[in-house]
Structure 1
């Protein structure tokens, strides 16, 4: 939550503080602060209009902040939920917000219930004055400022208790007119269902790109669209609204703003070195001229276009479009020189006109392509791991290691390994090798009956972590099966009746014969055994039992569906979350979740860093809650451990938390202000509370006392970075993955890009969960951080959860194995997939642009050249620039045959292919079509229209700042006519 912006003494630069020795200087400084506060303060405003209200809760109530008065709010009339598509795409807050808050909910008022009879109870109902055709279900309220201003933030006050009518999802618009068609969208976000006020930043300028006039956005009216309440079938309420920003003596000309929305943005210019805001008629005039120019050229009025272009000021003419694009229009539209057009496209790439074709750049789509590595088409496959879910697969060096899981009938204890391909090596399948089947009757390595070796028991829902430096693989946790639970309950009942021994001791029998596995009797079924396996170096292939029960040594109780991370440099293992087995007797009806533990490998000691907050803890809603099925990954660059999503009780989570540790080198703390355009991680860390050393929270377990390790880490912060990543971002409206259970997230150590593969998903307001196969990436280095949903092409893995995913940073590939398809049967998956992410790049933009150019050239060839020549061009020149895994491109390529069938009969003639195959005849290096003469262009013939449509498609590959306006003047005129009706 962003607090209201207020100047304080700490905002004064340090060089001014040095001269505050005299009273006169201090007085001047106070006057300066008062002057500055004049430009950034809450604005006085009044209610202009609203969509309607109930008789009790009128609009003017939101002008005052009275959180203890239940009637001090505006309640919209007859709020209905948006369409399913809208709700699924942009539902803002976690469904668990209310359940995680310790305050009791308020009993709703009679007017809080929605009225489905068309608003009969609305004493103040009034029709919408909006000119934009929107759903009639949208409820809105419009605020009017006393004078035009630059609004920088909007804040919402709340009732002092959780309330079912609290505003959930909303949108904010601003402008100089109350007409929505003349406003600019400023924000789309959501509020938490709690009592804490929230404030959001609003954009203050038109984000003018290089080469275009800069502009800021003045507003006289602010409109809030109240889209959904936190509880269905209730009217939505807003309790209090405040506005922050900048104001000055804006000229009266700004007030007389033209409400006809011809321009992309209402704007004024801000002079460098001055806080004075003045109107910018030059900007509006230039925008209008650009619209007229693009209309003339689109309408094939080229002489008029050229005459106007020559008569306007050079600054306006030069900002119309990049000179290379002017050449492209003349080359491809007027002269039909497709070869010259391809040369210009290559030059455009050289001049960085495809610069937005980068991850997060705004152009193109990121794609993931999958290959199945154990397809049934290979009949000579070596032995493969059986289908399973809840298993663990890790990477150590250039090998995969797989252990355990549940096959639908029983837990497993088999151990497999596979070699990863080297860079540049093409491996259509992945060969597995069985290290040990985990069964007494099978011994692939032979071995004497006198061998004394240990082997972990069968298990699933455990976790494994790799020590790359020492070659160990650590394993902790297991889900107790129903049979084991019943046996444990029976033994406990016998002990209560005095028929059993004291079950406090946890015993492990090390068998020298038979299978050599560790045997666990019924009374130790809940012992949290802790193992490690030597995979590289001396003692390779050896299992070592570190602890028979970590709970007796200050570590966690037996967990399942937790997460682990091992930091090799510091030799520390972190364990967070998971469900505790068994729950304490007094909490038998409540799920218990674990907090954060740290194991010092060198000292062989556990540290309890913090526990799961209880229902009586203060600020419970602001603390990191224990959970299961979450993701946990470490960013070595920022020394930060991230936790994403998971499940707690019936709630599916999509929150993002960050735990920042002390860097080994103080210089690596990176606490300076972030560079321009970089992510705001440093200021984010300064905003949270600091936890130095080991937490004093009481451990979850009471068996044994936690030992404070001399090497335990120092936590700088535990901070919630995002309440719900599936919400539209307040900055750019982007959304992230839906709340999910057993999703898998990896991080690339060089690019710091996250990749998340969803598991069992439960959308907001949905009653049932379902498996998903979506793939998302999160970029933290290229501009503002944002989520991006990847497009999957070709064959894709079926939806699943409880699968295992491993990332190979050397080849930038993901390996996915197994999982549960959630079909309500014993079926488990045993397929192995390799996925690779492809991000937009300038070369991809050039390829796609070439495909469009050559497709148009082929269409014209079918009308002017022999059909055989056109077909040869289709095969030799177009096919090589088509991405056949893209369904749209593949369909467009197949549709080229329509042009062949529509060719005139005279083209179906015999030709000398030896002559026509000459590069000068049909190769992509020569134009084969005619130019559009001037008369044809003026008349706006079909050929000109088709070529101009191609030109405008090519403009979509370059930044908007370099191209003509996308708006069509005819569409603006149509909108104006519709608004007057």
Structure 2
């Protein structure tokens, strides 16, 4: 299928309203010089929208909004819907625009959750908010791009139609099986050839629901794990952070002193961590350290690099990267004790990244720099050769960045290219910096992206006279994060500060095409962290995960309470999750649990710290930084009525963090707990109470996490089934009531007769099915907690259309056994579908119900 994008032509099909002279058709023309070239809604509380009809059936991949200038009428927040008809449309984008003249392009979701691409004929844009609430909403221009080749689009349509047909049939099959209509279920399954689920899931269904073969059901769980049917659940589960403070020293018992705004890098092959410089609250530092991970020892490489030949001087807010191909370290940038602003816009703010009281405000509007007013300063670019412990002072040509601070730098060792983005100049104009690259082999700098400078409503372009930034320009910033994805050769740039505002956007810069795409305009609204400054980030390209630590939020004075985040990026736009600490270990761990993580205290929230990631061991190392002292984590009012800085405390602590992840053994344990709950409930109706109680104390107890209050509460509540005179599970409809007990559904338990086992409060878990002693495991365990199993909705109640008699297919499976009651069938089905929560989507029946597709009017789907 063709994947290239072309312009998509369209017409305005319908709209909610318009104001005089501001017709909907105006969005077809991109005319920035005409102030009337826009669609403007009427001012009302009604929902506003505009519906576009594509000239040809297409696959919509992006939408671009043209703008003229900042304007109170400009649309801010909006939604985009697509569909084959105006009556049936799907939301594919929810985002917001900036109030500036820079056009913005947004990627449109054109694959469904199963990965199938879908075509569209209609596009609906729904404005939600405007920059000035008292004004009407205006859209100046809309352009669309995507796949328009008729052959390719027809292939997409045919594939999507096949998917829809299959999915409808899967829902029908699910509906029939839930209602015990097994004969028509099997007939349709055979004739249609539709695959409802993985064969192991079918085997699990028959073992749990139809035959009650509990031992076989648990064996199937292990087969499912071996077949990888739990992989999606394991990958999507939220890992838990296991922190350990490192107290190692050098040969003299020393460690790097307290500091913030320092730099670190790691040599993963030799297992070395390098640390250089920083600000200790009084002065900039120039000491250079190395930590040996294998030997667990610090080494002072230089007490003062400024005394070394060609060595860098004291500094903070610089950056340092390691080049694995040449075994070298590159250091760039600086903020030293003399680098202080004198701008008239000074305010009293916390220090920038641990530097000496630096004000982060940009210069006044009339101090806009020009190329002629910028003499090239002395280079602050160094290379350290690890083999011979020597420094080299490197030059920066006219295409390189100025001396900057609070920038970000990454190294592409395979290509031997260094990338530097953002930061602010350490000179009196304190200008922002753009995106640059340094070719190590050619010793040559290149300017990859210009940067526009916003001073209230004016826009200027660095290194370009009167040119205009494009929609692929990444707004420059400082105190941000930048990550190199080595497989796709893309840069992930996010957060930081610009124009005295903390950011929560994310851009992906494609190195090969020199283009940038905005992934999030506000990742906070998408479940990510708050806008933050001087947070740190590292990447695991094998897991396709980015880990974010710490940073300032809000008014430059508050540390995030939940400051550690995980960002998964296999698919756009990616997903955010908080990294919570792992809490609680089993009180009496067994020998098999010796590999369980040992949990210590967690590091306090901070900013201006440094982190590196050891990929082979998948371990994060964190050092130092600045934290708000005591409980003074907010700006406070001084005696003179001025705002004072909150007290700062610089740190010298050193931590390692690994992520405890959910294992397949844990999912097997949880599934076994569900199965044994159901087995026990049925035993209570068919066997002697003592036998049932012994089964509860042995077989059920061994798969319970007794450190989890929810699981423990549910485990103890199971005892009530022994005390009840009757249970819903034993209520057999009179139409099929028999004389024989249903003891064949409970299976044969192997009870022990030790009377000490009758104390229900003293059961201990073992690790036979995986270690259950970790209190919080990263996957919501609601379906095995004190809450009931997921309901199959009202259709499973006695008064609905579930077949109340045994289906002929059941009789074929067990011709000599008594029929199962309707209530037993419902309870077993609940158990089966609760286990399906752990199974990959493509291996199980679809989510949802056919009943959800029926409209209130009963004749609309």
TM exceeding 0.5: yes
Aligned match for 1:186, one of 68, 84, 92? 92
Give distance in 2, aligned partners of 1:463 and 1:387: 18
Pair 1:940 & 2:822 matched: yes
Give distance in 2, aligned partners of 1:641 and 1:140: 37
Pair 1:828 & 2:650 matched: yes
Pair 1:912 & 2:753 matched: yes
Match of 1:152 in 2: 60
Pair 1:390 & 2:246 matched: no
Deviation larger for 63-72 or 820-829 = 63-72
Q: TM-score, normalised by structure 1?
A: 0.58
Give distance in 2, aligned partners of 1:222 and 1:485: 50
Give distance in 1, aligned partners of 2:55 and 2:447: 53
Pair 1:408 & 2:284 matched: no
Give the drift of 1:903: 5.0
Aligned match for 2:75, one of 138, 144, 167? 167
What pairs with 1:856-871 in structure 2 (closer than 5 Å)?
Answer: 856-857=678-679, 865-867=691-693, 869-871=695-697
The verdict on how the C-alpha distance between 1:176 and 1:563 changes in structure 2, with shifts beyond 3 A counting, is closer
Pair 1:563 & 2:439 matched: no
Give distance in 1, aligned partners of 2:58 and 2:444: 54
Give distance in 1, aligned partners of 2:157 and 2:482: 49
Deviation larger for 286-295 or 962-971 = 286-295
Give distance in 2, aligned partners of 1:66 and 1:575: 36
Give distance in 2, aligned partners of 1:552 and 1:247: 45
Give distance in 1, aligned partners of 2:828 and 2:477: 57
Give distance in 2, aligned partners of 1:790 and 1:412: 34
Gaps of 5+ in 1: 7-40, 78-120, 127-138, 250-269, 423-429, 441-450, 487-525, 661-684, 689-717, 885-889, 926-931
The verdict on how the C-alpha distance between 1:140 and 1:838 changes in structure 2, with shifts beyond 3 A counting, is farther
Give the drift of 1:840: 7.0
Give distance in 2, aligned partners of 1:745 and 1:838: 19
Q: State whether residues 365 and 791 of structure 1, in contact with CA within 8 Å, keep that contact through their aligned partners in structure 2.
A: no
Pair 1:794 & 2:667 matched: no
Aligned match for 2:220, one of 323, 333, 344? 344
Give the drift of 1:805: 0.7
Pair 1:419 & 2:292 matched: yes
Pair 1:741 & 2:533 matched: yes
Find the residue that maps to 2:219 and give its secondary structure.
Answer: helix
Find the residue that maps to 2:68 and give its secondary structure.
Answer: coil
Match of 1:596 in 2: 436
Q: State whether residues 557 and 580 of structure 1, in contact with CA within 8 Å, keep that contact through their aligned partners in structure 2.
A: yes
Find the residue that maps to 2:627 and give its secondary structure.
Answer: coil
What pairs with 1:386-785 in structure 2 (closer than 5 Å)?
Answer: 386-396=257-267, 397-421=270-294, 431-432=297-298, 457-468=313-324, 472-481=328-337, 536-538=386-388, 540=389, 544=391, 546=393, 558-565=403-410, 575-583=420-428, 587=429, 591-593=431-433, 596=436, 598=438, 607=445, 609=447, 613=451, 615-616=460-461, 617=464, 618-621=467-470, 622-623=472-473, 627-634=477-484, 643-653=493-503, 654-656=505-507, 658=509, 660=511, 685=512, 688=513, 718-722=514-518, 724=520, 726=522, 740-748=532-540, 751=542, 753=544, 755-760=546-551, 770-771=559-560, 773-779=563-569
Deviations 1:372-394 (A, max 9, x none): 22489x9xx96544432112222
Pair 1:966 & 2:806 matched: no
Find the residue that maps to 1:307 and give its secondary structure.
Answer: helix
Gaps of 5+ in 2: 343-376, 453-459, 584-601, 634-645, 726-750, 759-765, 770-803, 808-817
What pairs with 1:4-83 in structure 2 (closer than 5 Å)?
Answer: 5=6, 42-47=9-14, 50=16, 57=22, 59=24, 62=27, 67-76=32-41
Find the residue that maps to 1:946 and give its secondary structure.
Answer: helix
Find the residue that maps to 1:976 and give its secondary structure.
Answer: coil
The verdict on how the C-alpha distance between 1:869 and 1:434 changes in structure 2, with shifts beyond 3 A counting, is farther
The verdict on how the C-alpha distance between 1:554 and 1:411 changes in structure 2, with shifts beyond 3 A counting, is same
Q: TM-score, normalised by structure 2?
A: 0.65
The verdict on how the C-alpha distance between 1:72 and 1:342 changes in structure 2, with shifts beyond 3 A counting, is same
Find the residue that maps to 2:201 and give its secondary structure.
Answer: helix
Find the residue that maps to 1:821 and give its secondary structure.
Answer: strand
Give the drift of 1:559: 3.0
Give distance in 1, aligned partners of 2:289 and 2:195: 63
Pair 1:894 & 2:723 matched: no
Give the drift of 1:827: 1.3
The verdict on how the C-alpha distance between 1:164 and 1:287 changes in structure 2, with shifts beyond 3 A counting, is same
Give distance in 2, aligned partners of 1:570 and 1:626: 25
Give distance in 2, aligned partners of 1:461 and 1:243: 42
Pair 1:294 & 2:294 matched: no
The verdict on how the C-alpha distance between 1:528 and 1:208 changes in structure 2, with shifts beyond 3 A counting, is closer
Aligned residues: 693
Give distance in 2, aligned partners of 1:147 and 1:529: 56
Give the drift of 1:961: 4.4
Deviations 1:137-167 (A, max 9, x none): xx34252759995563674553433434333
Give the drift of 1:56: 6.8
Match of 1:709 in 2: none
Pair 1:324 & 2:200 matched: yes
Pair 1:853 & 2:675 matched: yes
Give the drift of 1:720: 1.7
Find the residue that maps to 2:128 and give its secondary structure.
Answer: strand
Give distance in 2, aligned partners of 1:202 and 1:433: 52
The verdict on how the C-alpha distance between 1:284 and 1:455 changes in structure 2, with shifts beyond 3 A counting, is closer
Give the drift of 1:836: 2.7
Q: State whether residues 43 and 245 of structure 1, in contact with CA within 8 Å, keep that contact through their aligned partners in structure 2.
A: no
Match of 2:594 in 1: none
Give distance in 2, aligned partners of 1:613 and 1:215: 36
Find the residue that maps to 1:356 and give its secondary structure.
Answer: helix
Give distance in 1, aligned partners of 2:195 and 2:133: 50
Aligned match for 2:182, one of 306, 326, 329? 306
Q: State whether residues 572 and 599 of structure 1, in contact with CA within 8 Å, keep that contact through their aligned partners in structure 2.
A: yes
The verdict on how the C-alpha distance between 1:857 and 1:834 changes in structure 2, with shifts beyond 3 A counting, is farther
Match of 2:698 in 1: 872
Give the drift of 1:834: 1.8
The verdict on how the C-alpha distance between 1:201 and 1:461 changes in structure 2, with shifts beyond 3 A counting, is closer
The verdict on how the C-alpha distance between 1:162 and 1:895 changes in structure 2, with shifts beyond 3 A counting, is same
Find the residue that maps to 2:259 and give its secondary structure.
Answer: coil
The verdict on how the C-alpha distance between 1:817 and 1:915 changes in structure 2, with shifts beyond 3 A counting, is closer
CA RMSD of aligned residues (A): 5.3
Deviations 1:947-976 (A, max 9, x none): 322211222333444433422344445x52
Give the drift of 1:899: 2.0
Give distance in 1, aligned partners of 2:535 and 2:237: 22
Find the residue that maps to 1:948 and give its secondary structure.
Answer: helix
Give distance in 2, aligned partners of 1:594 and 1:242: 28
Give distance in 1, aligned partners of 2:117 and 2:414: 50
Give distance in 1, aligned partners of 2:186 and 2:393: 83
Give distance in 2, aligned partners of 1:289 and 1:725: 39
Q: State whether residues 365 and 790 of structure 1, in contact with CA within 8 Å, keep that contact through their aligned partners in structure 2.
A: no
Give the drift of 1:345: 2.3
Give distance in 1, aligned partners of 2:663 and 2:451: 46
Deviations 1:640-666 (A, max 9, x none): 666555433324453435474xxxxxx
Give distance in 1, aligned partners of 2:135 and 2:654: 47
Give the drift of 1:334: 3.6
Give distance in 2, aligned partners of 1:957 and 1:147: 44
The verdict on how the C-alpha distance between 1:44 and 1:843 changes in structure 2, with shifts beyond 3 A counting, is farther
